[in-house]
């Protein structure tokens, strides 16, 4: 199986350790991982901020880069959701029939739409790839810490990853998983929302942080570094003494590598 | 161009070329009770009406008159609005002193307001939602009769209770004025606290009549 | 004060939100109310094993109604006319107000009673009537609180959600006398007592007012039947007792067939008040029980929304307000910040479509969301609100500085080599990135959050160094 790592622009630039952890983990599970260096960005920031044309340009580039692989793995629920959930909508918006809101299924017949239909079903969030494609729920990890998990909106409601990440964490040796109250509520990141509506974003994060604190966890885990950058940045500002870690980084730890 | 023509023209140009939707294909919801659900229909209805904090009695048909009489005396209801066509036997045990207000000629709103209550039958009961439907038919009267008095006593025959909303819709005549009643009037406008009894009857009492021995 | 004109010149959403965020009383009220109703809704939706099927049917029925709206409106008009009612068509707010004013004038009355209606708030009917010397009395408890308090509604279902019991007690004590029967002496702030005070205040009005004005939740094309769902009985009073009834109804309220109600009478109460069924639902067709009946069909921008292939799904909305109650943004800022009678997520997609995005406020509404998707999940007619928000953002005007930034970012991300150079630049100057105080738009980030440290090397550099023996 040819597995391509879609690192995402944010991880590539700011959180390379997450990418390294994915590589370590997938290799440990017997995958051959490729990193197509021509990749840049899925276009989410542009599309979601209202720069549709720029976003579509980046989407076309994404499809070119990742076209030939059996599976594309992204350590970001949000970017995976952008590709799998939003690309088809973008395609429908540009399609010749312009089915729009009256049709139950978006129809698009443009070459872009065809490429979207071909490539995007093979794009997975890390937990989906591990559980659904590799069929693994125990990745042999060891992480002796008290951890709480924030499911992040786009993993939960976009990709509908369900309890896959939690199942993976439950099988990590030494890890004590504490449920996060009101876990399904948004942390307030929302891309440019965090800057455009900084006040509301901060208010939402205040509640998220309060919930994290009630768990007594040492580590807040999520499968999206954007949300973690927001919550972690707030935790750090408050000197809360809780650190944030991407799911991949926990799953990559083993007793041998401790 | 009239506004009518203008709006219609705007609509036609807005939807031109849009695909049609197959509605019948999308009706995958329940329209009749699952096997086994049917048996507890009346019990469910009683439970769901009680959930709205209405007073509910489930009695054999022959005990309706006594139940009605006890309910009225318990409230000291001396002046009762009685719609045309109400089964006389339901009032078989009320004291002779009860003042019966007939709606013929139509009672003024002030007369209704001065009454102690109203007794009616109904057109249907819905078990799943605990709803009573009035259709202004015989024994129900026009809509104001069950609205202005502060107390509504309603007799529901068990065979009028249907399992769910779809069964009720298929049984009702849309041309008649319909009033669906689920418990006494209520508001949750103050801090989401439910308060029963605002402008409609503050008390709803329901007598469910079972035919044959219980 | 609830009309559309009120909101003219309001600042942008973030500015309004900033004020609301600091109002601890408002935050407390909203948190309590939205969480309560959220829980109730979840419990009664859980009860129905076929909820998703009902939702799919609701969506399909509404789509069909909108696709063939011309035909269904004509069908409804014919049925209502046959049943002795009169149908009027209003292309915009001014025309609707004119029609209603004329109809009231013809009765010789100067007082009308109203049952809560979003459409009449949207067109500013009360203000228009006031200018013509006609007083409109709101009769829904929450609308009464809003009217007496000279305030704006802040929620679709619970318009006075921003007021707590002691504020309501104060409003009743101070203002009931100006509108009719004064509040009883020594009124307490117990909800039961307050509801009783409202009952007394409005009783005489219900029994004596000769003209009623309403909206409607549904209009059945096949039969011409109008449907109003409510709880308090004020709706039944306004619909039943007056000699003349005038209903102002948006053209998108049409359902094709009588049978369609079996879907919507399950979807709406459970989504809205979180009850299996609301206390009262009234259905009538044409002139009923000797009453004179007028239906005013309202366009007021709806056909413009209908023409937008992505945005038109907003017209499926049945005004249940489930999206408000789950929205993390609404929960923290309340309804007033949206500057429209339609607040919350649905307002953020409906208002800019109905009013356009020329004002700063309306252009900021599509951004009043973190795109978390909770609204879409609970919507009983499956309006993909995040999809429409993103679509509207692509049509909204952009600030020059933002456009410059996003264009630059797009340029960098277009070519991997540019991204690589930018990353190396960032790495080289990583020591200079302040953790707690970014300049420019970054300041909005660092106001409450620290900045992550820029790593010594990007992932792609690491990959190329370790996997490919450096460089390309």
The two structure tokens encoding residue B213: 């021995």
CA angle A106, A107, A109 (to 5 degrees): 145
pLDDT at C114: 97
Domain total in chain C:
2
Highest mean pLDDT among A70-84, B38-52, C157-171: A70-84
Measured between beta carbons, the chain B residues lying within 8 angstroms of C309 are 18
Sequence-distant (≥ 6) Cβ neighbours of residue C270 within 8 angstroms: C41, C44, C45, C48, C276, C380
Residues C298 and C442 occupy one common structural domain? no
Interchain pair B18, A102: CB under 8 A: yes
Interchain pair B29, C57: CB under 8 A: yes
Position C157 pLDDT exceeds 90 = no
The partner residue sitting opposite A197, judged by closest CB among C368, C415, C422, is C368
What is B53-117 written as a DSSP string? Answer: T-EEEEEEGGGHHHHHHHHHHHTT--EEEE-TT--GGGGTTS-TT-EEEE-SSPPPHHHHHHSSE
The partner residue sitting opposite A41, judged by closest CB among C67, C413, C445, is C413
The two structure tokens encoding residue B132: 């009573």
Which ipTM value was assigned to this complex? 0.96
Contact yes or no for A151/A184 (Cβ under 8 A):
yes
Domain holding C169, by residue range, is 57-302
Distance CA C404, CA C421 (A): 19
Which option is the CATH number for A146-252: 3.30.1360, 3.30.1490, 3.30.70, 3.40.50?
3.40.50
Q: Is C378 domain-assigned? A: no
pLDDT digits (tens, 9 = 90+) for B8-60: 999 999 999 999 999 999 999 999 776 556 679 999 999 999 999 999 999 99
Interface probe, candidates A15, A38, A101, chain C, greatest C C-beta count within 10 A: A101
Measured between beta carbons, the chain C residues lying within 8 angstroms of B8 are 70, 73-74
pLDDT at B211: 87
Measured between beta carbons, the chain B residues lying within 8 angstroms of A99 are 18-19
Alpha helices in C83-123 (DSSP H): 93-107, 118-122
Within 13 A of B63's CA, how many CA atoms are on the CB side?
15
The two structure tokens encoding residue C385: 């609100």
Distance CA C169, CA C186 (A): 10
CA distance A85 to chain C (A): 10
Position C386 pLDDT exceeds 60 = yes
Confidence of residue A93 (pLDDT cuts 50, 70, 90): confident
Strand partners, A244: A220
Position C138 pLDDT exceeds 50 = yes
Measured between beta carbons, the chain B residues lying within 8 angstroms of C164 are 191
Among chain B residues, CA nearest to C277: B129
Q: How high is the mean pLDDT of chain C?
A: 94
Asked which of A173-177, B30-34, B152-156, C300-304 is least confident by mean pLDDT, the reply is B30-34
Confidence of residue A98 (pLDDT cuts 50, 70, 90): very low
The two structure tokens encoding residue C290: 């000797």
CA distance A105 to chain B (A): 11
**Listed residues C269, C302, C335: the one ending a domain:** C302
C429 shares contact with chain A (CB less than 8 Å): no
Mean pLDDT confidence for A200-228: 98
Instruction: Encode burial over A194-227: b for 16+ CB neighbours within 10 A, e otherwise.
Output: bbbbbbbbbbbbbbbbebbbebebebbbbbbbbb
**Listed residues C268, C302, C336: the one ending a domain:** C302
Strand partners, B190: B193
The partner residue sitting opposite C370, judged by closest CB among A51, A98, A190, is A190
pLDDT digits (tens, 9 = 90+) for A105-162: 445 468 999 999 999 999 999 999 999 999 999 999 999 999 999 999 999 999 999 9
Mean pLDDT confidence for C181-192: 94
Closest CA relative to residue A220, chosen from A192, A256, A178? A178
Residues C277 and C418 occupy one common structural domain? no
Closest CA relative to residue B190, chosen from C193, C274, C199? C193
Confidence of residue A97 (pLDDT cuts 50, 70, 90): very low
Interface probe, candidates C28, C389, C463, chain A, greatest A C-beta count within 10 A: C463
Closest CA relative to residue C328, chosen from A196, B192, A200, A194? A200
CA angle C261, C299, C84 (to 5 degrees): 60
Which option is the CATH number for B40-210: 2.40.128.20, 3.40.50.10420, 1.50.40.10, 3.40.50.1100?
3.40.50.10420
Domain ranges of chain A: 3-133, 146-252
Q: Is C37 domain-assigned? A: no
Q: Which residue do the tokens 């953790």 mark?
A: C435
Q: Which residue do the tokens 């013509």 mark?
A: C132
Chain A: list its partners (3+ Cβ pairs within 8 Å).
B, C
Confidence of residue A96 (pLDDT cuts 50, 70, 90): very low
Share of residues in chain A with pLDDT > 70 (%): 93
Interface probe, candidates A37, A50, A77, A244, chain C, greatest C C-beta count within 10 A: A50
B16 shares contact with chain C (CB less than 8 Å): no
Contacting A residues, span 88-147, partner chain B, CB-CB under 8 Å:
97-100, 102-104
pLDDT at B32: 78
CA distance C7 to chain B (A): 24
Task: Report the Cα–Cα distance between both ends of chain C, in Å, rounded.
Answer: 67
Position A95 pLDDT exceeds 80 = no
B175 shares contact with chain C (CB less than 8 Å): yes
Mean pLDDT confidence for C244-273: 98
Confidence of residue C269 (pLDDT cuts 50, 70, 90): very high
What is C167-234 written as a DSSP string? Answer: HHHHHHHHHHHHHSSPPPTT----HHHHHHHHHHHHHHHHHH--EEEE--SEEETTTTEEEEEESSSH
Distance CA C147, CA C138 (A): 7
pLDDT digits (tens, 9 = 90+) for A27-53: 999 999 999 999 999 999 999 999 999
C42 shares contact with chain A (CB less than 8 Å): no
Domain ranges of chain B: 40-210
pLDDT by residue, tens only, chain B of 214 residues? 899 999 999 999 999 999 999 999 999 999 977 655 667 999 999 999 999 999 999 999 999 999 999 999 999 999 999 999 999 999 999 999 999 999 999 999 999 999 999 999 999 999 999 999 999 999 999 999 999 999 999 999 999 999 999 999 999 999 999 999 999 999 988 888 888 889 999 999 999 999 865 4
We report the CATH number of the domain holding residue C167 as 3.40.50.10420
Phi and psi, residue A138, nearest 5°: -115, 110
Confidence of residue C5 (pLDDT cuts 50, 70, 90): low
Closest CA relative to residue B134, chosen from B65, B188, B85? B85
Residues C272 and C416 occupy one common structural domain? no
Confidence of residue A70 (pLDDT cuts 50, 70, 90): very high
Interchain pair C278, B3: CB under 8 A: no
Contacting B residues, span 92-121, partner chain C, CB-CB under 8 Å:
109-110, 113
Distance CA A214, CA A242 (A): 11
Contacting C residues, span 351-380, partner chain A, CB-CB under 8 Å:
366-374, 376-377
Pairing status of strand C244-250 against strand C292-298: parallel
Q: Is C444 domain-assigned? A: yes
């Amino acid at each position: 199986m040819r597995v391509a790592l879609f690192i995402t622009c944010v991880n590539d630039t700011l959180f390379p350790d997450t990418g390294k952890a994915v590589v370590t983990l997938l290799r440990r599970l017997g995958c051959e991982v490729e990193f197509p260096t021509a990749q840049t960005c899925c276009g989410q920031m542009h599309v979601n901020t209202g720069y549709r044309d720029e976003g579509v340009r980046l989407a076309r580039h994404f499809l070119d880069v990742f076209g030939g692989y059996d599976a594309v793995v992204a350590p970001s629920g949000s970017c995976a959701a952008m590709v799998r959930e939003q690309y088809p909508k973008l395609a429908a918006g540009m399609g010749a029939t312009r089915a729009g809101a009256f049709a139950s299924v978006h129809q698009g017949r443009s070459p872009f739409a065809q490429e979207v239909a071909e490539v995007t079903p093979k794009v997975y969030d890390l937990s989906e790839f591990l559980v659904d494609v590799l069929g693994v729920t125990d990745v042999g990890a060891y992480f002796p810490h008290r951890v709480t998990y924030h499911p992040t909106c786009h993993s939960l409601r976009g990709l509908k990853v369900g309890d896959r990440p939690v199942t993976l964490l439950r099988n990590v040796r030494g890890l004590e998983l504490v449920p996060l109250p009101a876990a399904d509520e948004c942390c307030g990141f929302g891309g440019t929302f965090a800057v455009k509506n900084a006040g509301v974003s901060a208010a939402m994060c205040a509640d998220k942080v309060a919930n994290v604190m009630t768990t007594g966890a040492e580590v807040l885990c999520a499968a999206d570094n954007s949300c973690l950058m927001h919550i972690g940045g707030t935790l750090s500002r408050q000197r809360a003494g809780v650190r944030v870690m991407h799911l991949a980084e926990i799953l990559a730890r083993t007793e041998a590598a401790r | 161009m009239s506004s009518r023509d203008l709006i219609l023209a705007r609509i036609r140009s807005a939807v031109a070329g849009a695909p049609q939707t197959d509605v019948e294909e999308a009706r995958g919801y329940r329209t009749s009770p699952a096997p086994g659900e049917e048996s507890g229909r009346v019990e469910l209805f009683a439970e769901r009406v009680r959930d709205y904090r209405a007073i509910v009695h489930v009695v054999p048909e022959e005990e309706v008159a006594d139940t009605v009489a006890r309910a009225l005396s318990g409230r000291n209801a001396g002046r009762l609005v009685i719609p045309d066509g109400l089964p006389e036997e339901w009032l078989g045990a009320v004291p002779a002193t009860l003042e019966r207000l007939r709606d013929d000629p139509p009672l003024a709103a002030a007369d209704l307001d001065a009454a102690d209550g109203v007794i009616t039958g109904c057109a249907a009961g819905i078990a799943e939602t605990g709803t009573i439907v009035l259709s202004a038919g015989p024994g129900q009267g026009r809509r104001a009769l069950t609205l202005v008095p502060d107390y509504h006593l309603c007799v529901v025959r068990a065979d009028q209770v249907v399992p769910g909303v779809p069964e009720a819709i298929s049984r009702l005549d849309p041309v008649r004025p319909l009033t669906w009643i689920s418990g006494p009037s209520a508001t949750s406008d103050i801090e989401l606290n439910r308060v029963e009894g605002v402008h409609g009857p503050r008390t709803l009492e329901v007598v469910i009549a079972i035919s044959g021995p219980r | 004060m609830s009309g559309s004109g009120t909101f003219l010149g309001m600042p942008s959403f973030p500015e309004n939100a900033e004020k609301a965020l600091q109002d601890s009383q408002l935050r407390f009220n909203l948190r309590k109310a939205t969480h309560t109703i959220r829980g109730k809704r979840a419990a009664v939706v859980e009860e129905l094993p076929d909820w998703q099927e009902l939702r799919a049917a609701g969506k399909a029925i509404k789509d069909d109604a909108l696709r063939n709206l011309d035909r269904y409106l004509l069908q409804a008009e014919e049925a209502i006319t046959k049943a002795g009612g009169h149908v009027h068509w209003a292309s915009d707010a001014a025309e609707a107000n004119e029609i209603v004013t004329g109809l009231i004038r013809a009765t010789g009355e100067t007082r009308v009673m109203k049952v809560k209606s979003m459409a009449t708030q949207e067109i500013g009917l009360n203000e228009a009537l006031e200018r013509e010397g006609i007083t409109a009395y709101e009769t829904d408890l929450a609308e009464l609180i809003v009217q007496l308090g000279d305030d704006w509604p802040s929620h679709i279902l619970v318009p006075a959600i921003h007021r707590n019991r002691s504020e309501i007690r104060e409003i009743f004590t101070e203002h009931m006398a100006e509108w009719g029967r004064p509040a009883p002496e020594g009124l307490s702030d117990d909800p039961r007592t307050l509801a009783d005070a409202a009952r007394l205040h409005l009783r005489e009005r219900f029994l004596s007012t000769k003209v009623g004005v309403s909206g409607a939740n549904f209009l059945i094309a096949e039969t011409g039947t109008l449907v109003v769902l409510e709880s308090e009985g004020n709706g039944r009073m306004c619909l039943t007792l007056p000699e003349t009834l005038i209903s102002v109804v948006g053209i998108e309220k049409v359902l094709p067939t009588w049978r369609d109600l079996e879907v919507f009478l399950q979807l709406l109460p459970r989504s809205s008040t979180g009850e299996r069924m609301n206390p009262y639902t009234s259905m009538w067709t044409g002139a009923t029980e000797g009453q004179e009946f007028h239906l005013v069909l309202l366009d007021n921008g709806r056909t413009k929304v209908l023409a937008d292939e992505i945005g038109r799904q907003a017209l499926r909305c049945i005004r249940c307000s489930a999206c408000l109650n789950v929205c993390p943004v609404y929960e923290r800022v309340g309804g007033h910040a949206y500057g429209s009678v339609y607040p919350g997520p649905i307002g953020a997609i409906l208002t800019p479509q109905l009013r356009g995005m020329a004002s700063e406020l309306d252009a900021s509404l599509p951004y009043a969301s973190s795109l978390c998707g909770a609204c879409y999940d609970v919507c009983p007619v499956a309006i993909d609100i995040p999809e429409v928000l993103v679509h509207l953002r692509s049509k909204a005007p952009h600030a020059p500085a933002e456009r410059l930034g996003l264009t630059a970012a797009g340029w960098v991300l277009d070519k991997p080599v540019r991204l690589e150079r930018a990353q190396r630049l960032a790495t080289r100057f990583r020591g200079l990135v302040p953790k707690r105080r970014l300049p420019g738009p970054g300041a909005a980030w660092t106001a409450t959050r620290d900045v992550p440290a820029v790593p010594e090397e990007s992932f792609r550099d690491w990959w190329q160094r370790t996997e490919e023996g450096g460089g390309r």
